[in-house]
Amino acid sequence: MDNRDEVKAFLTSRRARITPEQAGLQHYSRNRRVPGLRRNEVADLAGVSVEYYAQLERGNLSGVSDSVLDALARSLQLDEAERAHLADLARTAGPAARSRRKSSARQVRPSVARILELMAEVPAFVNNARLDVLAANPLAQALYAPFFADPARPANHARFAFLNPRARDFWLDWEQIANDTVAVLRTEVGRDPYDKAMTDLIGELSTRSDEFRIRWAAHDVRLHRTGLKHFHHPVVGDLHLNFESMELTADPGLTLTAFSAEAGSPDDDALRVLASWAATHHTADTLADPGLSRRPRR
């Protein structure tokens, strides 16, 4: 993926979303032909020349200092994920642009697999930067049964969300899941634009899914560390589970995600029912029939 094009699209899209009022500008022309801020206004807010900012927005971030990046981030009102993405784009544009990060591991270490196994009461899995699931404990396999029912391996969150028709029923908030999925992938591309497997995945999804392609063009990025996910499970019905995602520092690119429910809540009860059900069924085979549903949507 071309770094200059990525920089240009990202800065342009961030500039377009901020109105002069949001930027605190007191005097500006009411006859504006472009949405958001103009280049000269961003330059003034960042304390750089219009010519220099125009050079940056054309995609040339090579050699840009941290102070200039910070000034741009403040002027464009970037959040934490966007600031990190801008820094990644600048690093990639530098002299060592082709020095690739160590590729994500293709499998989890035995000790990590053992940890997943011991987490018997909470669904947990490990995925890489491309959102391939490399390992999952039995309860996670039961929770994500429609996802794992697809025989393609490695199972991939993005492919499921955009290419599997069952995803829209499985996710109660499919639109949010779709937005988050694309934003996470965009974040990873900024960190390593030379990951061929990632490039192939983006190409496949862009070709096969209009929904993905539209979101990809927005250049949104996001940190996906914690939050709430809303499922409609074919066996236990609606589930609303908290999740925590933790990077495995010894395995760059790998993340462990675990789910929980408030003690004594209906969701906690549903997880226990799901665990009992999973212990007596072969998850993927049983849920190959989408007609199974014991609890309706709430």
pTM: 0.89
pLDDT class of 1 with cuts at 50, 70, 90: low
Specify the higher pLDDT residue, 33 or 24: 24
pLDDT(124) > 60: yes
Q: What percent of the chain has pLDDT over 90?
A: 78
Strand-pair category, 124-127 with 255-260 = antiparallel
Q: Which CATH number fits domain 110-286: 3.30.450.180, 3.90.79.10, 2.40.10.340, 3.40.220.10?
A: 3.30.450.180
Q: Give the per-residue pLDDT at 185.
A: 97
Residue spans in the chain of domains classed CATH 3.30.450.180: 110-286
pLDDT for the residue numbered 5? 92
According to CATH, where is 1.10.260.40 located in the chain?
Answer: 3-93
pLDDT digits (tens, 9 = 90+) for 223-252: 999 999 999 999 999 999 999 999 999 999
**pLDDT over 70 (residue 147):** yes
Fold of 3-93: 434 Repressor (Amino-terminal Domain) (1.10.260)
- Model confidence pLDDT, tens digit, residues 157-170: 999 999 999 999 99
Mean pLDDT computed over every residue of the chain: 90
* Mean pLDDT, range 104-115, rounded to an integer: 87
Q: So what's the pLDDT on residue 262?
A: 95
Q: Which residue has the higher pLDDT, 259 or 287?
A: 259
